[in-house]
Structure 1
């Protein structure tokens, strides 16, 4: 891999040791509740070192080690590849809790775990090679930032892509390119095949290492070219049957809901009674409706009409826009604590504003 521009806390160690002691010994619902509890145990560590994370532009090494130990980047990977085979409903509950702890953390897990959606897009033997290693995690981008041409034994790809969250530790990078005479296709690049460009300096979500990357005249084997949403085989997870855009709305939405929940909780702790009175009830109703819609989405069968999936997608998008507007209307009631660095409110608002600049959420505006 080329690159341009070039104290562990005891509580975190305790969480990691607890994770190792129970690995593989609980049922799915028990595992989810256990993971939610472990996320909460990280709160003192993250609160104490959040400035360090933002300065380094990445999460703490011990936090990354815990994510890998608990296989949180493998929520949608088959058990035969070392995954957890989570349902979408369980995953979004976990994303919400992680985002309530820290927006960057919630974002990174939903991005890394979301890469598991592509497992059936590769032949089984290739999927095993890409997703089974314990350290395997994808960083990707939806932008069409490259061009490719077909060769006798693969593709020659060149391009430059931005906003690959988790680039600091990802083992695989996915991106879309225009293939001469064939249209748009996605490609999977190994870490050593890309040049990383650490140019992420945002308002919020600062600890996501959402770097850019590029390849130049890279020959990619045909088995690492895929179409988003295609299924070459059936690993048996229901989430693979969902439209990718609906899956993405649910995943990103969980991060927004988690950040909003954390904002309301922090405002209450600081005695911002007018803010709480203005929007807490609406935020709670939005949260309940969001999880209801995700459950309905997960209940879609392969026989369900595409129109029903599109309707659920629109409902989730509208709900997330309602959430954004509710927070913006009430934000003046937080006073100067909303914009001063010593307060967690400032970071939460920065993360929310950055999140809502994501292409998927901007599509609401046409």
Structure 2
């Protein structure tokens, strides 16, 4: 999907991202120019409005180049799923900016006290990917009546607590955000099951669970493909140096790559089937959703187990944090730790 020159340029900056925990300004600008945070935003608001299968291939392709960028693309684009639920004029104001991107959390936390014309909101929300460069933030909280509402916060209302110190995906800025006694007008609140404008497309009514699982799965598949590419380079170098042990590793790698490609093909076959059901019937049965969920979790579990097995054969280079392979492996284990795609 992307040129070799672009891939090489992005990968040359990968270790800097890992060490610094920061996305270089040039790469961030590229994400904006490619509208990679706007895959589910209507063209009228400067977006690309892809269908879900096409967007998933973008997630995978970007993640194959660099895991942090793939994760941020998936999370940033996911914020576009809220656009039909926000009052029209505000949605246009928030999303028309070329650099519009949401960071936030779906977990209901904090407190929201109703007042005339709005709410007073306080709370903390963890794992808000993209928080350092978000143009606005969303988070869920319970009102005094026990209702869960979504709130829109502007940057001046948010404190970023830089506590993201995970094994991998270190450049995603998945920090905690804190809000203290923020005055949020009614216009800046919304509910996910209430449409407030005409910007909804087919993707916006797709079931939340398989949407999320498919998004994270696509990122993991992209990172895994990069892992096998890097592993192939190591094996080639070792075989060239006449290390006879690596002939068997070469065979194992070829077998794993074939199995992995089968998993990729299965994933896109399943998501196309689910998407067509959604388009044709405008609803998904619980059976179909559970089936897709089971396949995602089982296949990803096998993918990770095979990657970990191969790591044991790749020597000391595999355990050094300064190696590209190690960074890719850490990114994969971090991305795959999301609750929606873990074995349980």
**TM-score by structure 2 length?**
0.89
Asked if 1:102 corresponds to 2:66, the answer is yes
**Which residue in the other structure is 2:274 paired with?**
297
* Helix, strand or coil at the partner of 1:133: coil
**Which residue in the other structure is 1:254 paired with?**
218
| Displacement of 1:281 | 1.6
1:209 to 161, 167, 173: 173
1:326 to 306, 310, 327: 306
Note the aligned Cα RMSD (angstroms).
1.8
Contact 1:187 1:225 in 2 (8 A): yes
Asked if 1:309 corresponds to 2:274, the answer is no
Segment of structure 1 superposing worse, 137-146 or 294-303: 294-303
Contact 2:85 2:192 in 1 (8 A): yes
**Which residue in the other structure is 1:129 paired with?**
93
**Which residue in the other structure is 1:5 paired with?**
none
Provide the rounded CA distance (Å) in 2 between the counterparts of 1:205 and 1:275.
27
2:319 to 320, 339, 354: 339
Provide the rounded CA distance (Å) in 1 between the counterparts of 2:251 and 2:261.
16
* Helix, strand or coil at the partner of 1:134: coil
Segment of structure 1 superposing worse, 46-55 or 114-123: 46-55
**Which residue in the other structure is 1:159 paired with?**
123
**Which residue in the other structure is 2:259 paired with?**
282
Asked if 1:350 corresponds to 2:330, the answer is yes
* Helix, strand or coil at the partner of 1:317: helix
* Helix, strand or coil at the partner of 2:218: helix
Query: What are the residue-to-residue correspondences of 1:1-366 with 2, within 5 Å?
Result: 36-38=1-3, 40-271=4-235, 272-299=249-276, 300-301=278-279, 302-307=281-286, 308-362=288-342, 364-365=343-344
Provide the rounded CA distance (Å) in 2 between the counterparts of 1:154 and 1:317.
41
Segment of structure 1 superposing worse, 249-258 or 233-242: 233-242
| Displacement of 1:353 | 1.2
| Displacement of 1:93 | 0.9
Deviations along 1:301-326, one digit per CA (max 9) or x if unpaired, are 35434323343233323332332233
* Helix, strand or coil at the partner of 1:239: helix
CA pair 147-44 structure 1, distance change in 2 beyond 3 A: same
Provide the rounded CA distance (Å) in 1 between the counterparts of 2:188 and 2:291.
32
Contact 1:98 1:105 in 2 (8 A): yes
Contact 1:185 1:225 in 2 (8 A): yes
* Helix, strand or coil at the partner of 1:177: strand
* Helix, strand or coil at the partner of 2:182: strand
Contact 1:178 1:184 in 2 (8 A): yes
Contact 2:216 2:336 in 1 (8 A): no
| Displacement of 1:267 | 1.1
CA pair 93-226 structure 1, distance change in 2 beyond 3 A: same
Structure 1, unmatched stretches of 5+, are: 1-35
* Helix, strand or coil at the partner of 2:69: helix
Provide the rounded CA distance (Å) in 2 between the counterparts of 1:71 and 1:161.
26
Deviations along 1:53-97, one digit per CA (max 9) or x if unpaired, are 222212111111111112111110011111111111111111111
Provide the rounded CA distance (Å) in 2 between the counterparts of 1:76 and 1:91.
8
CA pair 63-180 structure 1, distance change in 2 beyond 3 A: same
* Helix, strand or coil at the partner of 1:37: coil
CA pair 330-76 structure 1, distance change in 2 beyond 3 A: same
**TM-score by structure 1 length?**
0.84
Segment of structure 1 superposing worse, 266-275 or 346-355: 266-275
